[in-house]
Structure 1
Amino acid sequence: MPRIKPEVVLLLGASVWGLGWIPLAYLASLGLTGMPVVLYTYGLLCVLAIPVLLHQQRIWWPQRRALLLICLCGGWATAGLVSALSDGDVVRAMLLFYLAPVWGLLGGWLLLGERQTPLRIGALVLAMTGIALTLGVSRETFSAMSASDWLALSAGLAFACNNLATRAADQVPLASKSVVAFVGTALLGGLYCLLMGITLPSVTPGVWGVLLLFGLFWLVAMSAAQYGFSHVETSRAAVLVVVELLVAVLTAAWLGERELSLREWFGGALVLTAALLAEYRETPSAPLVCEAKQ
């Protein structure tokens, strides 16, 4: 049976991420938004995550520092973005978060020594241009930064650092890399609620079931993404995950949440073109180190 390319798995994971607004919108209709959603959902996933981490501790212990980085960076990438989307301007938050491909390219070059080719840099420029067109950039977009803007920007930087750490943690089992970010998200989300004095809403048993399903949804997405980040060069992966934005915009239009203008269609086409360029391998590369046995 032929093995699925890591780039394809990463694109599928990013596509699932792009659908994340649907369960978030449903939870918002139930009165759950922002950091409480993060704390509740990822707190439930910790019930699964902690036993997996303890079971595989002997394997990941030599690279525990890299795993700790995944926990903190991956956790803040999720917690920070959700909070920024809930409390600030959505367009500004998404635009600032999606500077992550820039951080990913620079980090892959400076920290991992990845070779940056004209094709790869061109794909990044196309992706960023497509993001700007899809989300809409105006003079107000670059006005003074608010607290929510800083959350979104820091979440994008944390996301890029998470991808770098995942790539470096080549001997850590995929299961541990997939679930450790859930622990970080729950801890940082809870800390944020504590520091900001956010009151946690009461939740009925039926809503807990919805939150559990939402958590399993993200478990699938994170597993696919972590597999891709482990096997695809950081700068290429950073461009590929921009497909998440394209999926989110297209599904919102399809379900009647918004209408797409010609500018947004053109921006989406640029994002898709960038992903195809990033997926293309210019020269054969040596096989990567296999994932550690689980």
Structure 2
Amino acid sequence: MGWLKPEIVLLLGASFWGLGWIPLDHLAGQGLAGMPVVLYTYGLLCLVALPILVVQRRAWWPQRRALAVICLCGGWATAGLVGALSEGDVVRAMLLFYLAPVWALLGGWLLLGERLSFVRVGALLLAMSGIALTLGVSAETFRPLTASDWLALSAGLAFAFNNLATRAADQVPIASKAVVAFLGAALLGGLFCLQQQVALPPMSAGLWLQILLFGGFWLIAMSAAQYGFSHVETSRAAVLVVIELVVAVLTAAWLGERELGLREWCGGALVLFAALLAERPSRASSTKLCEAKP
């Protein structure tokens, strides 16, 4: 992926995430939804993840703690969001999960020493405003948090920590960072199934094939995203990944799953504008590039 800018790769990965609802909706129509999807999909992906981690163990061992954070936080972000969406209000769950850019911005500043520029903070505020407009905020949105709301909030926090750990684990191969979260998601998906006493649906050969295709789709999306997280400052990456929401809303409208009104168009425009602001290199980076030129 070296011939593409990391920001572009990250946007492509986030766009793939935004398309993820389509195969999930299809699988739900086949009787496979919620935590069993997480368990089956990521359990299958572990067959790819484990050999990669074993082969690259010498490369990632010095930063094994950061890789463990990616495993647990990436897994919790996936399983927690799926659980929140299946148990609670979808709009509230998405709004609370998409507070992740705020946590990433603060974490990048406090833990990684990233500079908080006016443009970067402004881009984040625009993105959050766009999210609120796109999803729709009402007085009902601000009622006291329920258990599923806390689950969504914690998933967003875990996603932010996953991104911070990915950025910090600069010596870990991209492949290891891309697949290790699959282990955490499979483990936590299984624990959720046990805790909620969810009966696993029977699986036909055709359904396993569909899960395999979905897993391949998710592997590509995660690889692109982890490449971007590894090369883009956390505070910028946090804004860029919000493009996922715009892609999800636009494709849902295109396929007739929802209608787009003025509010959704305005929200999407704000998110896109915020992504354009965040995609621009910071002044410090531009200065370094200029100084490096002969």
Could you say which TM-score interval applies, normalised by the shorter chain?
A: over 0.9
Q: What secondary structure sits across from 2:283 in the alignment?
A: coil
Q: Is residue 279 from structure 1 mapped to residue 279 from structure 2 by the alignment?
A: yes
> Which residue of structure 2 lines up, in the alignment, with residue 83 of structure 1?
83
Deviation at 1:88, TM superposition (A): 1.4
> Which residue of structure 2 lines up, in the alignment, with residue 150 of structure 1?
150
Deviation at 1:282, TM superposition (A): 3.2
Cα distance per residue 1:138-172 (max 9 Å; x no partner) = 11111121221111111100000000000000000
Question: How many angstroms apart in 2 are the aligned matches of 1:23 and 1:2?
Answer: 29
CA contact 1:34–1:87 (8 Å) conserved in 2: no
> Which residue of structure 2 lines up, in the alignment, with residue 139 of structure 1?
139
Deviation at 1:207, TM superposition (A): 0.3
Q: Which amino acid aligns with 1:4?
A: L
> Which residue of structure 2 lines up, in the alignment, with residue 244 of structure 1?
244
Shift >6 Å, 4+ stretches: none
> Which residue of structure 2 lines up, in the alignment, with residue 222 of structure 1?
222
The TM-score, its normalising length taken from structure 2, stands at 0.96
> Which residue of structure 2 lines up, in the alignment, with residue 37 of structure 1?
37
Question: How many angstroms apart in 1 are the aligned matches of 2:230 and 2:122?
Answer: 23
Q: Is residue 263 from structure 1 mapped to residue 263 from structure 2 by the alignment?
A: yes
> Which residue of structure 2 lines up, in the alignment, with residue 254 of structure 1?
254
Give aligned pairs, total.
287
Question: What do you get for the CA RMSD once the two structures are aligned?
Answer: 1.2
> Which residue of structure 1 lines up, in the alignment, with residue 25 of structure 2?
25
Question: How many angstroms apart in 2 are the aligned matches of 1:241 and 1:62?
Answer: 29
> Which residue of structure 1 lines up, in the alignment, with residue 46 of structure 2?
46
> Which residue of structure 2 lines up, in the alignment, with residue 173 of structure 1?
173
Q: Is residue 64 from structure 1 mapped to residue 75 from structure 2 by the alignment?
A: no
CA contact 1:71–1:183 (8 Å) conserved in 2: yes
> Which residue of structure 2 lines up, in the alignment, with residue 5 of structure 1?
5
The TM-score, its normalising length taken from structure 1, stands at 0.96
Runs of at least 5 residues in structure 2 that lack an aligned partner in the other structure: 290-294
> Which residue of structure 1 lines up, in the alignment, with residue 120 of structure 2?
120
Q: What secondary structure sits across from 1:171 in the alignment?
A: coil
> Which residue of structure 1 lines up, in the alignment, with residue 292 of structure 2?
none
Deviation at 1:101, TM superposition (A): 0.4
Question: How many angstroms apart in 1 are the aligned matches of 2:211 and 2:126?
Answer: 36
Q: What secondary structure sits across from 2:141 in the alignment?
A: helix
Question: How many angstroms apart in 2 are the aligned matches of 1:154 and 1:282?
Answer: 30
Deviation at 1:174, TM superposition (A): 0.4
Q: What secondary structure sits across from 2:250 in the alignment?
A: helix
Question: How many angstroms apart in 1 are the aligned matches of 2:56 and 2:142?
Answer: 45
Question: How many angstroms apart in 2 are the aligned matches of 1:208 and 1:121?
Answer: 44
Q: Which amino acid aligns with 1:73?
A: C
CA contact 1:74–1:185 (8 Å) conserved in 2: yes
> Which residue of structure 2 lines up, in the alignment, with residue 291 of structure 1?
none
> Which residue of structure 1 lines up, in the alignment, with residue 206 of structure 2?
206
Q: Which amino acid aligns with 2:142?
A: F
